[in-house]
A and B are shown apart, each in its own frame.
Chain A
Amino acid sequence: MLESTDNDLVQSMFYNGWTHDHYVTNLLVFAPDGTIIDCVLNCPGSMHDSELAYFGGVYQRLREQYEKHGGKCVMDSAFCSRGNAFVIKSAQDVTLGEDAQEYTMLRDATSMRQAAEWGMRALQGSFPRLKARLKYEEHGECKCIIQCIMLVYNFRARYCGINQIRTTFMPHLDRDCEALIARDLSS
């Protein structure tokens, strides 16, 4: 969240009408091991999520990964799946599926998207500084603070192993993590 400024133009740029406050928007892509694999940070709060993904180059990078490795991404209903084969959208109403297979896929995608909520909770719960009100600065430290938090989050997930997504989807990594620490300590 941001402090409001004297400049009306800046104020309207960061104003989010949905929550009636001033925000900095960040877009994060989580992997099944709980880490952040792509992000767009420190954008004005008035930007729409899909717009942010487009201008931040997330769609482009995910497309490249899809063409390279064939991996898809589950996103919520705000994002654009038209023309983007790598996007699987979750549905608010899973009964919209045309056949049983599509119905199952929509149900699973909606269930899996819950992982993104876990990721957001892990981030905001572990680092409450993100929820504190930051001062608006043109060339200030806002981005550095957010970037630092994202990097520490990744380090925590990979090295420390405290992450709900990781524990749910890849529990074997926790055991690997302990072996890794033991190896580091012995060296």
Chain B
Amino acid sequence: MITLCQKRRTYSSNINITTMRGALLLMWAWKLMEDEAKRKQQEEEEENDDPRFISLLDSTGRRRRDRRIARPSLLLPEESPWSMILNRGNDACMITATGLDNQSFFALHRLFYPYYKNFTPYSNNGKIVPLKKRKTRSGRPRMLSSEAVLGLVLTYNRTSCQEYVLCQLFGLTATPLNLWLKFGRMVLVKVLRSNVYGRVERDPSQETVDSWKDAITSMYPSLKDV
């Protein structure tokens, strides 16, 4: 008799636990649905309240106003206007485009090239990392030459134009353009910081200071030791 009662008690307690679990699951599902409905309602309200013009546009309207030039509409980098300027070798054109004449440009390129060859901006953390050394040639070769990367940085400094103008000039879409621009700029800063022609000479030699003094005194005799 005692054994039967105990069994019954266990059986009833099992039923209670199962019912409770089911109720909890139901509550959880109900809560989830409610949250989802709330989120959708909030999004709709935000969209309705969004004062920006773009919220009024459909996908076609947004695409038409995207302000980007797609790859099929661009020239390849080796056929781009920049390549013409570089290959033509005209000093005046080069100075207009980059601020440097051909000799200076290629002198700077000689310093820049080792970094272009041995480093890459394509990394998981977005930093410039060394290229992995491999025994066999593998991977897609770069479309953009080292001259073009250097030219891109110099032309960017030399203009105040929009991004898409540079895209047309260098035959690149916006994403790689920004990536290589960042890479080129950082490499250029690193190269020129330690270069004798580029660095900010905070501690000049006595000879240099004397030559500066002579240059000033020859024009302004009353300004001595300037």
Instruction: Give the residue of B107, B185, B206 whose beta carbon is less than 8 angstroms from that of A148.
Output: B185
Q: What residues of A have a CB within 8 angstroms of the CB of B157 in the complex?
A: 127, 129, 145, 148-149, 152
Interface residues of A in 135-169 (CB under 8 A from B): 141, 144-145, 147-152, 154-156, 158-160, 162, 168-169
Chain A residue total in the interface (Cβ 8 A): 53
**A31 contacts B197, CB within 8 Å?**
no
**A156 contacts B103, CB within 8 Å?**
no
- The DSSP consensus for interface residues of chain B is helix
A36 vs B204: C-alpha distance when bound (angstroms): 12
- A181 at interface by CB-CB < 8 Å: yes
Chain B residue total in the interface (Cβ 8 A): 45
Instruction: Give the residue of B100, B186, B202, B219 whose beta carbon is less than 8 angstroms from that of A160.
Output: B100
Known: A37-B202, A148-B153, A158-B198. 20 other contacts (CB 8 A): A32-B215, A37-B204, A65-B204, A69-B204, A69-B210, A70-B209, A71-B209, A108-B223, A112-B223, A126-B158, A147-B189, A148-B185, A150-B200, A151-B188, A152-B154, A152-B198, A155-B104, A160-B101, A170-B211, A185-B103
A154 vs B194: C-alpha distance when bound (angstroms): 12
A33 vs B197: C-alpha distance when bound (angstroms): 12
Interface residues of A in 159-187 (CB under 8 A from B): 159-160, 162, 168-170, 181, 184-185
Q: Residue of A at shortest CB range from B204?
A: A37
**A104 contacts B107, CB within 8 Å?**
no
**B100 contacts A109, CB within 8 Å?**
no
CB distance from B149 to the nearest CB of A (A): 13
- Total A-B pairs in contact (CB under 8 Å)? 144
**With known contacts A37-B200, A69-B209, A169-B215, A104–B192 Cβ distance under 8 A:** no
- B77 at interface by CB-CB < 8 Å: no
Q: What residues of A have a CB within 8 angstroms of the CB of B200 in the complex?
A: 35-39, 150-151, 154
CB distance from A56 to the nearest CB of B (A): 12
**A155 contacts B215, CB within 8 Å?**
no
Q: Can you give 8 A-B contacts (C-beta < 8 A)?
A: A35-B200, A109-B223, A145-B185, A152-B188, A155-B198, A156-B100, A159-B108, A181-B107
**B201 contacts A151, CB within 8 Å?**
no
A170 vs B219: C-alpha distance when bound (angstroms): 10
Interface residues of A in 93-123 (CB under 8 A from B): 101, 104-105, 107-109, 111-112
**B226 contacts A144, CB within 8 Å?**
no
**B215 contacts A160, CB within 8 Å?**
no
**A154 contacts B192, CB within 8 Å?**
yes
